[in-house]
Amino acid sequence: MKFTLVTLLAVFAATVSASPAVSKRGCDVLGCIGALAPAVASCAEALVLEGEDIFADIECFIDATDDILDPPSACNGCF
């Protein structure tokens, strides 16, 4: 499950930062990455704990799901 969540976040982030340009189609790449930072941080914590804390895994899953289903406004035009 951890691998799946981390992979989803990595793919999501890669679509934002795939362009070497900081601004792409009206996308604020740095702002979008900053808006996604809480999900990345919670999933990094879950990854470090290697499944020892189920609540960290749940928080990662919830944060990732929220960002995928309802992307932050800073990510408008990035996808």
Question: How many CB atoms lie under 10 A from the CB of residue 54?
Answer: 10
Residues 45-63 have pLDDT tens digits of 888 988 888 998 999 899 8
Strands 27-28 and 23-24: antiparallel
Residues 6-43 have pLDDT tens digits of 665 665 665 555 555 444 567 888 888 888 888 888 88
Give the CA angle between residues 18, 48, 52 to the nearest 5°: 135
Distance CA 70, CA 50 (A): 27
Measure CA 6 to chain center: 8
The whole-model pTM stands at 0.59
